[in-house]
C-alpha cells in the first residue's frame, strides 16, 4: 500500500506541475496572444480564416453560436454514420469489413460526436482503418475542441460588460485544434509509438504459437494517433475492443503513465486558464482545489476497497484483488485509472470495472453521476463545475437574503433556469434510460450477472451514456437495437442540451453590467465556500442516485459479505 500511495502522490504532483504552464498557454491561445508556436501556426490559422471568410472582428450572438455548434455537430454525425455504412467500398480496409447494422452505426456516430465514445463493438473486428482514422479519430479532435470552445464562450460572458456577442465558434474551434490538441497529440503519439504502440496501415499479422503451434491473428492499424487524442480529448474510445488493457494499445508502464496523465492534463489546465481569463487566479485555484479534494477522496475509497475488500490470493497475487486486472498494472494503477477515467469523462479502461468490488464500482459510478465535474471532459467538466459554483452562490445568497453574485455578475432567474438544465438533464436521462431498460423483457439477457450486480451493470451503462463518459462495467451486452437507439439519443441530449444552456447563460451574463464587490459580497475562493461547494455537489448526486445505488452496488456489497 505504501508503494501505491507514493505512486499516486507523484502522479498528482506531476499533474499539477504540468497543468499550470499548460493552462497559461491555453489562456494565451484563446485570448489571441502570441505563443511560441505562433510563428509556425499563425500563417496556417490566418489562411483558414481567409478561406472561411472570417474577419478578426467577426463575433457571434448566443443564437448564432448555438447554430454553429449544432450544425457542425449534425454534419459530424452524418459523416461518421456515412463512413461506417460505406466502409466496405472505402480504402484502407485490408480485412474487408462490411458495414455494421444501421442502429449500431447511429449509436457509434452519436457516441463520438457527443464526446462519449461509448462502444458497443470491438474495433479490430468490425471497423476499417479508414473508419477508425477518418471517422472516429477526426471526431475525437472535433468534439473535444467543441467542448473547450463553449467553455471559453462562457468565460467571455463573465468578463464582458453589456455585450451581445460571446466570440466566434469557428475561431475558437480552430485555435483549440491548431495550438492545443494537434501539437499535444502529435507529441504523445510519437512517445507511444516509441514504446511499442502500433501505428501502421499494414494488414493484420499472423504468428505461430511456440507452445501449441496454433496460428494467431494479431490485429494492427493506425492506433497510436487515435489513442493520443482519445486520452487528451477525454474521449476514451479504444482502437481495440479491450481498450487500454490491450498490449498493443498500452504495452508498458510508461505508456500507462503517459495515457493516465493525458486523461486529466487538459481538464486540470483549464482551471488555470479560467483563473487567468477572469483576472482572478484565486477563482481558478479554488475550483482546482475542490476537484483535487473530490478526486483524492474517490481515489482513496477505490484503492482501499480494491486492496483490502476483494478476494486475495497468496504469493505474487497477495496485494489486493487482482480479478479483472492486468498484472503489469496491478491494483494501485488500475484503481488510479478507474478513478481518473470516470472523473474526467474519458471512458477508457485498463481493467474490467465489472470485477471491481461493489463499493469501488459505486464510487466510479458516483463520479459520473455528479455530472463528471471532478476535472470532467475537456471544457464540459469545467463549465459543469462552474454551474455548481453558481448554484452554490445562489443557495448561499438565499441563506443570507442577498442577491447572489459571481465574478461581478448578478445571478438572476434566467441564469438559474440554465443552471438547472446543466445540472439536472444528465441525471434525468440516466435514470429514465435505466428505468426503461429494466422494464424491457429481454433485459436479463443483456447482463452477465443476476441480482444486484446485474442491476449495477445496467445502471453503470446508462450512467456512462447519460454523462458522456463511455466506459462500461464489461458485463453488459450493449449491441441491441434498444440500447443503440435509446443510448444514442441519450448521449446526444445530455451533451447538447446542457451545452446550449451554457451558451445561453454566457449570452445573458455578457449582456449584464459588472457589479463592484462590497463588504457583503460572498467570497467564492475561501475554504468555507469550497466546503459548501463540495457539500452541494455530493448532496445533489446523492439525492438523485442514492435509491438506484442502494438497489445496485450497495445491495451487492451486503449480499457478497461473507
Range picked from 46-50, 330-334, 473-477, 516-520 for highest mean pLDDT: 46-50
User: What's residue 508's pLDDT?
Assistant: 96
User: In 3-state terms, what secondary structure has residue 473?
Assistant: coil
User: What's residue 34's pLDDT?
Assistant: 94
**Are the beta carbons of 265 and 341 closer than 8 angstroms?**
no
Question: Among 156-165, 327-336, 381-390, where is mean pLDDT lowest?
Answer: 327-336
**Are the beta carbons of 183 and 37 closer than 8 angstroms?**
yes
User: In 3-state terms, what secondary structure has residue 428?
Assistant: helix
**Are the beta carbons of 230 and 136 closer than 8 angstroms?**
no
**Nearest C-alpha neighbor of 227 from the set 264, 206, 272, 258:** 258
469 has pLDDT over 60: yes
Instruction: State the average pLDDT over residues 105-110.
Output: 96
User: What's residue 314's pLDDT?
Assistant: 53
Residue whose C-alpha cell reads 468534439 in the numeric block:
143
Instruction: State the average pLDDT over residues 38-52.
Output: 95
Instruction: State the average pLDDT over residues 11-22.
Output: 97
Three-state secondary structure readout of 346-363: CCCCCECHHHCCHHHHHH
559 has pLDDT over 90: no
Q: Residues 493, 497, 500, 502: is their CA dihedral positive or negative?
A: negative
Residue-wise burial string across 369-388, b where 16 or more C-beta atoms lie within 10 A, e elsewhere: bbbbbbbbbbbbbbbbbbbb
Instruction: State the average pLDDT over residues 318-333.
Output: 82
Q: Work out the angle at residue 106's Cα, subtended by the Cα atoms of residues 345 and 139, and round it to the nearest 5 degrees.
A: 50
Indicate the pLDDT class of residue 3, thresholds 50, 70 and 90: confident
561 has pLDDT over 70: no
**Nearest C-alpha neighbor of 118 from the set 136, 133, 95:** 136
- Bigger pLDDT: 498 vs 448: 498
Q: CA–CA separation, 431 vs 547, rounded Å?
A: 11
Backbone angles phi, psi at 209, to 5 degrees: -65, 135
Instruction: State the average pLDDT over residues 351-377.
Output: 93
CA distances 118 to 222, 351, 487, Å, are 20, 16, 9
Instruction: State the average pLDDT over residues 124-138.
Output: 95
Residue 519: Cβ-neighbour burial (10 angstroms; 0-12, 13-18, 19+): exposed
**Are the beta carbons of 285 and 525 closer than 8 angstroms?**
yes
Number of Cα atoms under 13 Å in the Cβ half of residue 411: 26
User: What's residue 209's pLDDT?
Assistant: 84
Instruction: State the average pLDDT over residues 261-285.
Output: 96
Backbone angles phi, psi at 344, to 5 degrees: -100, 15
Residue 59: Cβ-neighbour burial (10 angstroms; 0-12, 13-18, 19+): middle
Indicate the pLDDT class of residue 240, thresholds 50, 70 and 90: very high
Per-residue cell: 329: 498494472
Per-residue cell: 317: 497475487
CA distances 415 to 287, 394, 422, 497, Å, are 20, 10, 11, 15
Q: What is the pLDDT of residues 72-83, one digit of tens each?
A: 999 999 999 999
User: In 3-state terms, what secondary structure has residue 146?
Assistant: helix
User: What's residue 317's pLDDT?
Assistant: 47
Q: CA–CA separation, 30 vs 21, rounded Å?
A: 14
- Bigger pLDDT: 486 vs 398: 486
User: What's residue 447's pLDDT?
Assistant: 86
449 has pLDDT over 50: yes
475 has pLDDT over 90: no
Q: What is the pLDDT of residues 380-389, one digit of tens each?
A: 999 999 999 9
478 has pLDDT over 50: yes
Q: CA–CA separation, 463 vs 478, rounded Å?
A: 13
Q: What is the DSSP string of 544-558?
A: HHHHHHIIIIIHHHH
Count how many residues are written for the chain. Answer: 562
User: What's residue 474's pLDDT?
Assistant: 78
Indicate the pLDDT class of residue 316, thresholds 50, 70 and 90: very low
User: What's residue 476's pLDDT?
Assistant: 83
CB atoms within 10 A of CB 88: 11
Which helix (H) or strand (E) is 376 found in, with range?
A: none
Q: CA–CA separation, 84 vs 130, rounded Å?
A: 9
User: What's residue 312's pLDDT?
Assistant: 56
Instruction: State the average pLDDT over residues 172-177.
Output: 97
370 has pLDDT over 70: yes
Percent of the chain with pLDDT over 70: 98
CA distance between the termini of the chain: 24
Per-residue cell: 35: 505563443
Amino acid at each position: 500500500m505504501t508503494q501505491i500511495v507514493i505512486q499516486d502522490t507523484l502522479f498528482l504532483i506531476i499533474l499539477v506541475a504540468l497543468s499550470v504552464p499548460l493552462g497559461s498557454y491555453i489562456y494565451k491561445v484563446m485570448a489571441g496572444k502570441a505563443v511560441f508556436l505562433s510563428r509556425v501556426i499563425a500563417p496556417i490559422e490566418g489562411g483558414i480564416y481567409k478561406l472561411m471568410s472570417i474577419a478578426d472582428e467577426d463575433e457571434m450572438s448566443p443564437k448564432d453560436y448555438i447554430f454553429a455548434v449544432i450544425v457542425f455537430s449534425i454534419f459530424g454525425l452524418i459523416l461518421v454514420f456515412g463512413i461506417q455504412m460505406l466502409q466496405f467500398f472505402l480504402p484502407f480496409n485490408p480485412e474487408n469489413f462490411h458495414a455494421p447494422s444501421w442502429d449500431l452505426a447511429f449509436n457509434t456516430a452519436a457516441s463520438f460526436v457527443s464526446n462519449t465514445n461509448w462502444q458497443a463493438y470491438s474495433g479490430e473486428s468490425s471497423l476499417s482503418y479508414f473508419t477508425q482514422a477518418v471517422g472516429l479519430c477526426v471526431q475525437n479532435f472535433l468534439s473535444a475542441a467543441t467542448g473547450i470552445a463553449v467553455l471559453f464562450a462562457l468565460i467571455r460572458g463573465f468578463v464582458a460588460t453589456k455585450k451581445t456577442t460571446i466570440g466566434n465558434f469557428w475561431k475558437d474551434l480552430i485555435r483549440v485544434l491548431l495550438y492545443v490538441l494537434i501539437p499535444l497529440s502529435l507529441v504523445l503519439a510519437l512517445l507511444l509509438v516509441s514504446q511499442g504502440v502500433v501505428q501502421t496501415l499494414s494488414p493484420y499479422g499472423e504468428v505461430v504459437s511456440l507452445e501449441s503451434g496454433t496460428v494467431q491473428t494479431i490485429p494492427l492499424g493506425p492506433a497510436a494517433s487515435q489513442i493520443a487524442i482519445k486520452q487528451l480529448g477525454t474521449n476514451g474510445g479504444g482502437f481495440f475492443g479491450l481498450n487500454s488493457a490491450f498490449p498493443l494499445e498500452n504495452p508498458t508502464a510508461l505508456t500507462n503513465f503517459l495515457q493516465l496523465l493525458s486523461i486529466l492534463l487538459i481538464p486540470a489546465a483549464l482551471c488555470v486558464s479560467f483563473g487567468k481569463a477572469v483576472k482572478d487566479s484565486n477563482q481558478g485555484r479554488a475550483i482546482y482545489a475542490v476537484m483535487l479534494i473530490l478526486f483524492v477522496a474517490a481515489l482513496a475509497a477505490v484503492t482501499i476497497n480494491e486492496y483490502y475488500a476483494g478476494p486475495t490470493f497468496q504469493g505474487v497475487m497477495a496485494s489486493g484483488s487482482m480479478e479483472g486486472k492486468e498484472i503489469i498494472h496491478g491494483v494501485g494503477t488500475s484503481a488510479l485509472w478507474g478513478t481518473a477515467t470516470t472523473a474526467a469523462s474519458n471512458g477508457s479502461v485498463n481493467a474490467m470495472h465489472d470485477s471491481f468490488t461493489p463499493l469501488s464500482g459505486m464510487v466510479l459510478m458516483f463520479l459520473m453521476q455528479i455530472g463528471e465535474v471532478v476535472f470532467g471532459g475537456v471544457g464540459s467538466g469545467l463549465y459543469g463545475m462552474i454551474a455548481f459554483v453558481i448554484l452554490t452562490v445562489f443557495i448561499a445568497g438565499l441563506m443570507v437574503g442577498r442577491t447572489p453574485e459571481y465574478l461581478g455578475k448578478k445571478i438572476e432567474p434566467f441564469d438559474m433556469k440554465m443552471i438547472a438544465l446543466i445540472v439536472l438533464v444528465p441525471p434525468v436521462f440516466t435514470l429514465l434510460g435505466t428505468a426503461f431498460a429494466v422494464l424491457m423483457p429481454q433485459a436479463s439477457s443483456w447482463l452477465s450477472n443476476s441480482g444486484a450486480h446485474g442491476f449495477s451493470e445496467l445502471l453503470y451503462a446508462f450512467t456512462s451514456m447519460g454523462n458522456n463518459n463511455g466506459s462500461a462495467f464489461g458485463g453488459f451486452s450493449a449491441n441491441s437495437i434498444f440500447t443503440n437507439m435509446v443510448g444514442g439519443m441519450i448521449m446526444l441530449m445530455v451533451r447538447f442540451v446542457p451545452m446550449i444552456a451554457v451558451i445561453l447563460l454566457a449570452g445573458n451574463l455578457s449582456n449584464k453590467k459588472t457589479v463592484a464587490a462590497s463588504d457583503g459580497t460572498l467570497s467564492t475562493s475561501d475554504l468555507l465556500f469550497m466546503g459548501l461547494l463540495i457539500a452541494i455537489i455530493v448532496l445533489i448526486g446523492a439525492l438523485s442516485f442514492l435509491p438506484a445505488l442502494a438497489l445496485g452496488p450497495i445491495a451487492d456489497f451486503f449480499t457478497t459479505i461473507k
